[in-house]
Structure 1
Amino acid sequence: MAGLAYFLLIAAVRLSGKRTLSKMNAFDLAVTVALGSTLATILLNRQVALGEGALALGSLVALQFVTAWASVRSRHVRRLVKAEPTLLLCDGRMLHDALRRQRVTEDEVRQAVRTQGTGGLELVHAVVLETDGTFSVIPRSQRGCGSALANADRTQARADVADRP
């Protein structure tokens, strides 16, 4: 039974596409965890029939597929399901309101900058908290026109620019 349940999971994931096991946002991560939990229940709980488990796995994959499909086609669904990336540092300056809103410390931003091999905040154009919880660091030398920051929440960055003398 364990082998069959495992192959059902693999088949469901392969049929649904790469997105099913991605961790692009919190929703995708929740689906991945739910799939693992469902497989564990099928394997460990004798009261759950293989058919019921297969139906549960199929339902999770189908719901994830429908939600991903709808989020690509509807801005409203996308806003419900996905968070926006958040700008935490702009032109070497910490955006304190954004840090508080995202519950990120200055030390965590500094660590992300160091991890990228940069020794000073003044050498960084931007640090973005991505929707999957990772930090993206853009050095000043690679800033370009800034088009990669187009969808980042820049509310605080605009306020800080307005406050500059």
Structure 2
Amino acid sequence: MSTSFRLQICENCRAYFFVFSPYYTMPNIYSFYFGKLCDFHKRRRCGRMAVPLLRTLILYCAVICAVRLMGKRQIGELDPSELVVTILVSDLAAVPMQDLGIPLLSGLVPIATLVVLEIFLSFAALKSRRFRRLLNGQPAIIIRKGQLDIDKLRQMRLTTDEVIETLRKQNVAAVSDVKYGVIEPDGTLTVILKQPQQPVTAEMLGITPKDTGLPLVVVSDGKMVPRSLELLHLSPADIERRLKNQSIAVEDVFLMTLDDCGNTFLQKKEGRV
């Protein structure tokens, strides 16, 4: 079947269209260049641009909510089930954004299903130790008293170079310094050093260090943080009084931290105090 075309003029704005088939029309490039499109065609073109924008915003919010509901984890600390769900959610969110012919619900419904499934599996893992091991695996000891467990390394498909590299990242010079090395279910290596190689602590030296609390940000970029003040049982007037004793206004403070022991860190916007 041959494709025929004809010249057609818009009744609203007199813009020229080349008609290649009964189902496809393309505006003449000169109509775009000279801005001869009427309001109807302009609204239609803007509407087509708004659809992918709205889809992207909706899917972005859906993915953010999904990640928040699944809990806070760093990317390198995801369990196998969490990693699978994260990959699937990203793929499901990408498909409706790329193909406007796919309904938006075709992406939102599977994402919601995966989130509910992950939450259900997490609760089931909390209740059953056996199910937790089946779902996430269990720790594996690859170093025992300074010796590598060759069978475990082969089972976990780890090379000696990878183990040595991981030890160096934890400031461990040699395998012989390690009493136990454990591969956790999230893939990280936990190292327990032998007694002579463990760092010296204040308890070993018989020293009682100064007690410190948890520093909380009470002023950030010239603004007080109400949540921190509430945890420290302080009022804005207390902070203003502390700053007034040092002849500093709240607006001039870049960062101020305070712990429950009274230790304060203060940095002005133009430099450190």
Bin the TM-score by the shorter chain.
0.7 to 0.9
Whole-angstrom distance in 2 between the partners of 1:92 and 1:126: 7
Q: Write the distance in 2 (CA, Å) between the matches of 1:116 and 1:23.
A: 16
Unaligned runs of 5+ in 1: 143-165
Partners of 2:76 and 2:152 lie apart in 1 by 26
Take 1:3 and 1:79, find their aligned partners in 2: how far apart are those partners?
Answer: 38
Cα shift at 1:28: 0.8
TM-score by length of 2: 0.48
Match of 1:53 in 2: 107
Residue of structure 2 aligned with 1:37, choices 68, 91, 97? 91
Secondary structure of 1:18's aligned partner: coil
Q: Which runs of 5+ in 2 are unaligned?
A: 1-54, 199-273
Does residue 54 of structure 2 align to residue 7 of structure 1?
A: no
Q: Which amino acid aligns with 2:164?
A: R
Larger RCO: Structure 1 or Structure 2 (Cα < 8 Å, ≥ 6 residues apart)? 1
Provide TM-score, normalisation by structure 1: 0.77
Number of aligned positions between the proteins: 143
Letter in 2 for 1:126: Y
1:96 is aligned with what amino acid?
Answer: I
Distance 1:94 1:15, change over 3 A: closer
Equivalent pairs: percent with the same residue? 32
User: Contact (CA 8 Å) 2:69, 2:115: kept in 1 or not?
Assistant: no
Residue 77 of structure 1 corresponds to 131
Equivalent pair of 2:77/2:187 in contact (CA under 8 Å): no
> Relative to 1, partners in 2 of residues 1:28 and 1:112: Cα closer, same or farther, differing over 3 Å?
same
Give the number of the structure whose residues are more often strand, by fraction.
Answer: 2
- Identify the match of residue 172 of structure 2 among 92, 106, 118: 118
Q: What's the Cα RMSD here? A: 2.2
The residue type equivalent to 1:60 in the other structure is L
Structure with greater helix share of residues = 1
CA distance in 2, matches of 1:46, 1:64: 28
